[in-house]
Amino acid sequence: MSQLPSPMDPALEQRAINVIRGLAMDAPAAARSGHQGTAMALAPLAHVLWTRIMRYDASAPQWADRDRFILSCGHASILQYAMLHLTGYDVSIEDLESFRQWGSRTPGHPEVGHTPGIEVTTGPLGQGFANGVGMAIAEASLRERFGVDVCDHHIWAMVSDGDLSEGVSHEAASLAGHLGLGRLVYVYDDNHISIDGPTELALSDNAATRFDSYGWHVIELGEAAEDLDALEQALLEARSVEDRPSLVIVRSHIAYPSPRLTDDASAHGLAFGAEDITETKSVMGLPDEPFFVPDDVRDLYRAAGARGRVAREDWEQRSRAALAGREADWEASIGSRGLPGWADVLPAYTEADSPATRVASGDCVAALAGVVPGLVAGAADLIGNTGTKLPGAGVLSAAEPGGRQIHFGIREHAMGSIMVGAAHHGGVLPAAGTFLVFSDYMRPAARLAALSGAKCVFVWTHDSVGVGEDGPTHQPVEHVMSLRLIPDLTVIRPADGNETAAAWRVAVDGDGPVALILSRQNTPVLPTTATRAVDGVSRGGYVIADADAPDVVLVGTGTEVAVALEAAGLLAEDGRKVQVVSLPCWDRFDAQDDDYRRSVLPPGVPTVSVEAGVTLGWDRYADASVGIDRFGASAPGGVVLRELGITPEHVAGVARRLLAG
């Protein structure tokens, strides 16, 4: 195996950095799109991280105990792609040449699962910052539960002024400092440039003072972006701090060493023409040749990428011994799944029961604590309200890093993004809750979870105007439908306790994010869910009350399925045959074969939907809809539901009018 020279030749290192900068110009130029300026400025930092600091093996990008790297300023993606190619990941020079093109493995912003070596999907500023906090929580949890022979690594990130400006970074940084996440090291690229011009147009924060107040270890390097040894020493110092996260602040110069565009705001986006590239390469002593990588530079980086193989092989032996007798726990944790037979502990309910679905979900969470070893749960100051309590699991804190109960505080923005990062790290199954109306705060994270396939459970409760007296500010009406618009987000609104338990089966056994939409108010356990809910929820929809050759179908979700059943009884008094359908998850239902879907919603049979939310979208299943196309009101929940027409009598009346033609 090739070895890195020790010490490395300074001239070779500088040439290697210049090659990174050349690639950072060439790929956006070929694409006529991209951001080369930040990538050029941070090339020395990337060089130091990948050759002197981070522990990784390019031949094994999924090694469980590798260091994680996050490019929170994802617009500078070409920097990360260049390093992945140079160090020997499965990213070819042809991939760099097809930067930002259709079908390319090098999209405009990094996407986990799309390009080897990418850990999280970044781009929306601030999200990667918070993702890293989630990764550090997952690392601390695994290290505490399984020991340092199994888990002992760091999370590194490059963050920008844009990341620090977004509010989500404030929330995430505050929690990270509170938890003392010492394996978290961020480098702040303080380049004083934004798209509109100098950052001073809108930003006068003192980042060092701010992060010091959060409880972070802060290193102010100043003008050291080109000083490899100073960068290395700062990163090593940060890595040695075990009791708190670290922020290294580096003053860089965007687009350096371009003679014309260094420190120019236009260099943030695509500003480099052919002349600029030629001139800058001349300054660096590079030939005017696109995607130039000389053999000595490639050899240097390939040696760096292979150096971690010894550490990985040693880890494989040590971890095997350390996990002896605990293999099942490890496999379940790292796969974010349950132990064999885990679903047997889920609660079952009878028609004598009437729990709110948030309460039933809480019963499920409590039952799963002992059989889903990676489950970590919490809420934004609403653990009791959202049913996210893990009895006996310990509270996550600086003193108890293995605690699986997480108090996120009133930080919904960061909570969602932290969940996504923890899920992508692996080893935990994050579940966290707040009121459904506040899913608005978490929507960026939910969207990125769906885009990136992060396996986490969003527990959103108080799901309708049934919230009652808190009024329209707290009564979601458009939220369920808007969440259904997000591709690959599994949205489940269970009708009763048995459907809620079945929804948890989907969440634990499946892949990707699940949103559980749960009621505040009690709701009866419905006939047939004890026997039909497991299969029915898995399929997304099912017949909850049968009728041969039905005259009309009533279809609902959540607590409104009970309303539909009562309406069916009223219609039966008219001599009408009524089929009642529960449709908790539209996407899973739409994925079923035609025969199954037609058996549930027979074509040609008049169909009425009922859901305590906006009716937009229900026309895909129903001929008429009972819903709420306005904001709610402050009154007891039952009164609001009645006044807004979510009653059996209203549903039956709509069905009668539909049948009358």
Residue 65 has pLDDT above 80, yes or no: yes
Average pLDDT over residues 268-276: 88
CATH for 10-312, options being 3.40.640.10, 3.40.50.970, 3.30.1050.10, 3.30.930.10: 3.40.50.970
pLDDT of residue 1: 37
Average pLDDT over residues 436-460: 98
pTM: 0.97
Fold match flag (10-312 vs 537-660):
yes
Residue 2 has pLDDT above 60, yes or no: no
Helix (H) or strand (E) holding 544: strand 542-545
DSSP code at position 575: T
Arithmetic mean of pLDDT over the chain: 97
Average pLDDT over residues 622-642: 97
Average pLDDT over residues 600-629: 98
**CA end-to-end span of the chain:** 80
Average pLDDT over residues 467-492: 97
pLDDT of residue 6: 60
Q: Is 412 a catalytic residue?
A: yes
Residue 577 has pLDDT above 50, yes or no: yes
8 A C-beta contact, residue 128 and residue 70: yes
pLDDT of residue 8: 80
Annotated active-site residue in 111, 119, 171, 412: 412
The whole-angstrom distance between residue 513's C-alpha and the CA centroid of its chain comes to: 8
- What is the CB neighbour count within 10 angstroms for residue 201? 10
Distance in angstroms (rounded) separating the CA atoms of residues 374 and 336: 6
Average pLDDT over residues 127-144: 98
Closest CA to 83 of 300, 288, 256, 249: 300
- What is the CB neighbour count within 10 angstroms for residue 230? 17
Helix (H) or strand (E) holding 370: none
pLDDT of residue 620: 97
In terms of DSSP H, where are the helices of 544-647?
560-572, 586-590, 594-600, 637-643
Kindly state the percentage of the chain with pLDDT values over 70.
99
- At residue 435, φ and ψ (nearest 5 deg) are -70, 145
Residue 446 has pLDDT above 60, yes or no: yes
**What's the CATH class of domain 537-660?**
alpha beta
Q: Tokens 């409760």 identify what position?
A: 461
pLDDT in tens, 182-218: 999 999 999 999 999 999 999 999 999 999 999 999 9
Residue 73 has pLDDT above 80, yes or no: yes
Task: Map out the domains of the chain as residue ranges.
Answer: 10-312, 342-517, 537-660
Residue 270 has pLDDT above 80, yes or no: no
Distance in angstroms (rounded) separating the CA atoms of residues 365 and 538: 19
Burial of 240 (0-12, 13-18, 19+ CB in 10 A): exposed
According to DSSP, the β-strands at 607-610 and 624-626 are parallel
Alpha carbon of 568 to those of 311, 380, 552, 571, 654: distances in Å?
Answer: 66, 39, 9, 5, 12
pLDDT in tens, 504-520: 999 999 999 999 999 99
Q: What kind of fold does domain 342-517 have according to CATH?
A: Rossmann fold (3.40.50)
pLDDT in tens, 288-337: 999 999 999 999 999 999 999 999 999 999 999 999 999 999 999 999 99
Confidence of residue 269 (pLDDT cuts 50, 70, 90): confident
pLDDT in tens, 211-234: 999 999 999 999 999 999 999 999
pLDDT of residue 3: 58
